[in-house]
């Protein structure tokens, strides 16, 4: 197997895939795994260009693109810097070494960002890793790289997939929804928000924004990208067959697909409270371009995904601190909530709806799932009926 030491001809510096400059002996033009005798389906002559051609397929889905770029970039840099060989020369044995490298990227000074901080990709302190990958993250990395290699083979760029011999590929785990908050833990998270300070105007603004954000994520099951990518003008009201006015939220979601989500009375109360706190009328009008979530103060531009994630993580971290203060018996549950992320709230919304006997078709449509099979994993139509059932059975209960 190849040595894990730095290649002597490579400088100890790393660059993102957008700016990396590889010398000719490791740029892939002469990779030992390059396909020969076939007509390639992509115009790439070098490994970086081949990776970019693969990534271009995911440009319209930011989260997928970012995750796939991260894993391809890590492998490219490891191959060229650590082994001194092009990605298109990697063997099955090389990939076994790489899997071990993911569990402990060494030398850490070269590969890992200092003090666990995350720097922007253009920052000089940026590194490919924030720390060692967990077993689950290691498996996910290999799954993504297997997708990359398979595509490059199909595109006529590579002769074979060095990961095709992996035993992991033969195992297909049954999908399970485990990243969600049980009812008691969800109540603890809500309590953390309720306990936020409210003495000053700025503190109250943080408090009402937190309530509004968690209401959106839970009652509507929104993704973070959907929170930052839609506006208040997406709310609209229409009468049902019985003549009752019902509010809806139209969401442009993953894959640029539109769906409408019931805006329950609870959600509209939180919306009105949040808008009044920001000096706005209680309810938006059509065409209102105010973002669904606003920065603190007078700024009106949409918040970034990272900023919204940080709000959610802070609530989870404070919840964990409160739980740990109750004694050793709460350590495990505190650890669990500390691991949670914004996407856990989407799973939580789906799980709570599905297990409160909301029709699975309605859960599917609320969350924007393609298949009822995806929605059924949350178990352990007319629009009017869906709205009524969601209103009656899915409540936040502040």
Span 342-372, pLDDT tens digits: 989 988 888 888 877 788 788 888 888 766 6
User: Residues 165, 245: one domain?
Assistant: no
What span, in angstroms and rounded, lies between the C-alpha atoms of 357 and 92? 48
- Residue 261 φ then ψ, to 5°: -115, 135
Span 10-25, pLDDT tens digits: 333 578 888 888 999 9
Mean local confidence (pLDDT), 111-135: 87
Which pLDDT value is given to residue 2? 38
User: Residues 161, 190: one domain?
Assistant: no
User: Residues 193, 332: one domain?
Assistant: yes
Which pLDDT value is given to residue 364? 84
- Residue 8, SS3 per DSSP: coil
- Residue 246 φ then ψ, to 5°: -130, 135
Q: How distant, in Å, are the alpha carbons of 238, 241, 265, 349, 384 from that of 245?
A: 5, 10, 11, 24, 11
Domain range for 217 is 183-393
User: Residues 219, 130: one domain?
Assistant: no
Q: What is the pTM of this model?
A: 0.56
Strand order across the beta sheet in which 235-239 lies: 235-239, 245-252, 258-263
Q: Does residue 284 sit within a domain?
A: yes
Q: Does residue 30 sit within a domain?
A: yes
Most confident of 45-49, 251-255, 347-351: 45-49
- Non-local (6+) Cβ contacts of 212 within 8 A are 270, 271, 273, 274, 293
Q: Does residue 398 sit within a domain?
A: no
What span, in angstroms and rounded, lies between the C-alpha atoms of 315 and 140? 27
Span 165-206, pLDDT tens digits: 764 444 444 445 468 898 999 999 999 999 999 999 999 999
- Which of 117, 148, 170 is the endpoint of a domain? 170
Which pLDDT value is given to residue 4? 39
Which pLDDT value is given to residue 381? 45
Does the pLDDT of residue 1 top 70, yes or no?
no
Does the pLDDT of residue 91 top 50, yes or no?
yes
What span, in angstroms and rounded, lies between the C-alpha atoms of 75 and 88? 11
User: Residues 164, 187: one domain?
Assistant: no
Domain total of the chain: 2
Return the CATH number at 188: 1.10.443.10
User: Residues 273, 350: one domain?
Assistant: yes
User: Residues 283, 371: one domain?
Assistant: yes
Q: Does residue 319 sit within a domain?
A: yes
Does the pLDDT of residue 256 top 70, yes or no?
yes
For 58-83, letters b (16+ CB in 10 Å) and e give eeeeeebeeebbbbbbbbbbbbbbbb
What span, in angstroms and rounded, lies between the C-alpha atoms of 356 and 115? 43
Instruction: Say if strands 245-252 and 258-263 run parallel, antiparallel, or are unpaired.
Output: antiparallel
């Amino acid at each position: 197997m190849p040595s894990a030491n730095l290649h002597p001809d490579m400088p100890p510096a790393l660059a993102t895939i957008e700016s990396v400059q590889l010398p000719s002996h490791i740029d892939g033009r002469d990779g030992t795994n390059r396909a020969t005798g076939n007509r390639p389906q992509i115009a790439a002559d070098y490994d970086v260009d081949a990776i970019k051609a693969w990534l271009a397929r995911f440009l319209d889905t930011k989260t997928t693109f970012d995750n796939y770029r991260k894993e391809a970039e890590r492998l490219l840099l490891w191959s060229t810097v650590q082994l001194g060989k092009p990605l298109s020369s990697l063997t099955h044995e090389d990939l076994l070494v790489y899997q071990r490298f993911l569990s402990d990227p060494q030398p850490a000074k070269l590969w890992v960002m200092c003090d666990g901080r995350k720097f922007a990709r253009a920052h000089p302190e940026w590194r490919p890793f924030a720390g060692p990958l967990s077993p689950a993250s290691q498996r996910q990395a290999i799954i993504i790289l297997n997708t990359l290699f398979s595509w490059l083979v199909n595109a006529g760029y590579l002769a074979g997939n060095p990961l095709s011999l992996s035993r992991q590929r033969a195992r297909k785990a049954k999908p399970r929804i485990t990243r969600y908050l049980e009812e008691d833990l969800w109540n603890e998270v809500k309590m953390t928000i309720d306990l936020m300070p409210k003495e000053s105007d700025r503190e109250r603004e943080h408090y009402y924004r937190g309530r509004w954000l968690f209401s959106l994520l839970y009652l509507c099951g929104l993704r973070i990208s959907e929170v930052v990518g839609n506006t208040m003008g997406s709310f609209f009201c229409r009468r049902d067959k019985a003549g009752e006015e019902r509010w809806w939220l139209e969401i442009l979601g993953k894959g640029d697909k539109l769906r409408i989500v019931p805006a329950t009375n609870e959600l509209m109360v939180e919306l009105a409270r949040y808008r009044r706190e920001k000096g706005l009328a209680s309810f938006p009008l059509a065409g209102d371009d105010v973002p669904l979530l606003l920065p603190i103060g007078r700024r009106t531009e949409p918040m970034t995904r990272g900023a919204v994630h940080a709000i959610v993580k802070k609530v989870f971290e404070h919840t964990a601190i409160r739980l740990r203060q109750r004694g050793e018996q709460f350590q495990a549950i505190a650890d669990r909530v500390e691991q949670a992320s914004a996407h856990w709230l989407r799973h939580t919304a789906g799980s709570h709806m599905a297990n409160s006997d909301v029709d699975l078709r309605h859960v599917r449509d609320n969350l924007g799932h393609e298949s009822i099979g995806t929605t059924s994993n949350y178990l352990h139509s007319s629009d009017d009926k869906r709205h009524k059932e969601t209103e009656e059975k899915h409540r936040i209960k502040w």
